[in-house]
Structure 1
Amino acid sequence: MGTGKKEANRRIRQGKTGDGLANVRVKGENFYRNAKKVKTLNMYKEGKAQRNSEGKITKAASFQSRDVPDARIEPNRKWFTNTRVVSQDTLKAFRDAMAEKANDPYQVLLKSNKLPMSLIRDGQDAKGIKQHEAKVAVETSPFAEVFGPKAQRKRVKLNVSSLTDLVGDTEKSMDTYEVRLEQARLLSGISGQDEEERQVAMAIEPVFDKGQSKRIWNELYKVIDSSDVVIHVLDARDPVGTRCHSIEKYLKEEAPHKHLIFVLNKCDLIPTSVAASWVRSVVPPSSADTPTDLVLRGVVRVEKVEHPEQYIPAVLNKVKRHHMEKTYDLKGWTNAVELLELLARKSGRLLRGGEPDLDGVAKMVLNDFMRGKIPWFTPAPSRNTDDNGVTDRDGRLGEMPKKRGLEDAGDTSNSVSAKTAANQPGSGRGYDREEVFEGFSSDYDAPSPTDLKDGSCVASSSPSTSTSKRRRKT
């Protein structure tokens, strides 16, 4: 067929168009390597320079040519004329005027210019400028030039010109440190203590400082300011440790009209008598939290702690020995290290050479401690006998004074009460108007169907309170 205009259109319709290099053979192409493979191999070889027998470069590699182009500066009169400068007094006056306008609450910025205004501001305390200065200091004085066998520095370079300036700089940094220290004490709730009562600061891991930024605290205070009632959920196993004293202090001083409610959570993990004593007791204030307290309360993630095995003795101090033996089915250990070794060999967590993985097993024990697999609780603080408290209760969780006498319920209720009082072991008295609810009991005997009349439900009391069961009286 012809190769004219119609033939070209036919090739386009049939999709047979090409670049015209279909029959062009690439150097190196053969039966084993096609053109695409050859181009890929040539691309890999482009990074090497070609040399002759003497080792001299005959052909430079790609982007590695040693030919330097001729440098030429554009001729201009501005290179030789005077430049525009400003005096320090004029610059200071301009800065003061800008700061006055910026701090005026009645001034509104409608349109901002494109000038670099950040260059004329007094941003000496800005974080970016500090980072820039630190970067410049590291680049000008690397570690190898300051320390080591190749050190070139003979004396320390300070940013002061005299001893008086050094004293002023030291006092300024000390004042800044005291301000930050006072803020930290205010957040921890120990700002009013004396120097002798305060604990000595200790070096802790950086993970314990996470989540304490001003942004997070500001979000919390926003929620508190917009609320009328604040519900503080406490862990029944450790109510003292889970209290936030800074929030309580803020509500007491800044918002006394707001209501603060404490809710004990996870009461099913502790004995009923302990929960009741926590409900009616006065919780004493606690000091600053230690890293051990933060780990055991679940404030930080166990996976982020570097040496978790150092917190296992604190776990053993809170948990009874028979609970640990029953949970992990291990006996014969005397300290925390032996417990971790036995647990590692039992669970098969061994390192190279048969060494027990103490870190992994310690993390497992801490997770079991926080998630309720290991039973534990913190006993309530003891109270004096002459302390004024609730006198008409026996100290059981859920007890309440009786609201209605039995004589008001009718003859039917009196007969049922008499039968119930007779069935109680060691009970020689009946119910009266001043009787109170005896609390929850595990040894609860349900009344027989013959004792229930007119839909009444009668419960017998028992001194045991190991397991909570609800009882009703009508």
Structure 2
Amino acid sequence: MQKKREIKRPKHSLHANRSNVVGKNSNRRTAATVRRLKMYNSRPTRNVRGRVIRVAFKSKELPCTRIQSDRRWFTPTRLIGQKQLECFREDMESRMSNNYNVILGEKKLPMSLLNNLPKQKRAQLLDTQPVDSEFVPSKKTNVELTKFQALLQKVDTSKDVFEQTVSAKPSSWSELHKVIDSSDVVIQVLDARDPQGTRCYHLEKHLKEKCKHKHMILLLNKCDLIPAWATKGWITTLSKEYPTLAFSADTNKPFGKDSLISVLQQFATLKSDKQAVSIGFVGYPNVGKSSVISALNTKNICKVLPTQTEGKVLQYITLTERILLLDCPGGVYPCSDSNTDVLFKGTIRVENLRDAAEHTAEVLKRVKKEHLERAYKIKDWEDENDFLVKLCNQLEGGLLKGGEPDLMKAAKTVITDLQSGKIPFFVPPVKQDDA
């Protein structure tokens, strides 16, 4: 009998028809894997000139599957004409003049082209100084002694001015600029008793000129200290310039918390290209910035400081996963207010006043008489001195040795009660014309 021929199967790992026996060598390459590996090693056939004649694994339906090299692949694909750019720039300026509009996708827009930058004029040096008077070969300049002394005097005066400006600006100003640079939305907290007096026009001008991509919101805090009609009037007045919200920073029962959080969530939705949206709180001291943040978090998370401090720095507080709150130390901004106006804003500690009695007359003018009678149970008084004397008789420890009234303590008590809200005081809103 003839023996059957045994068919020898190839054992090479790159052979598509090799056997794949289940056992020790069960992790062998499949036929599809072998064909794919061979495709990677294949090279096209070229003629003497280097032209491709035949390519392995080439589709027969397509005549040429090679991408032609072109310089247009390495140039910008998003182009815009000059007229279109001018029209878009004018339309953007008209729309962004309204503070209620928000730009979507700022990273995709060429903001450097959209901003109208002032053109720098070339300095005409030859018009101010002729060439003959300066570039003379054999001429040597002689500095007179009088000019040298005048130069030294000018240096001394400029040094004194610089030292005064540096000493006038506290370290909290540097923290303020850090908050502005790190924030996408700036919330300016105002005292509802005097909103216009606690506004920082210098900061608003800085944001309009140099930080147009940042958004400003006005927050009227301490609305529980003024009547409802006054709050409504101020919101109507301030809403014409910036989005304005009313708030009362109470940890247990805050007013306006839901509306403020909804606005912050809208900004987080609009700024979807960012991982998190930073909300910076700025304003004068004693307006309640830290109290607002604590009310949003339903716990006292920020340390409350009543006046401007040197050591306080900005704090990052997480409200949600995409909303970060930045607490800024309060600062007194340059303005033409008198000492009494600054005292009414609460930016000065009462303990640091040298003569608190001199501000009592202004307090009696601005505060209604019925509120003072209700707070201190004093009915009639002739002037501020008579009022302080009667108040000393009611206060504990209001009399010095010998039975003399302590006018300084009584005056500080009145100012403290005024700043804390025990004595009602507010600036009425401007009357709106019925249109």
TM-score, scaled relative to structure 2: 0.42
Structure whose alpha-carbon radius of gyration is higher: 1
The structure where strand makes up a greater share of residues is 2
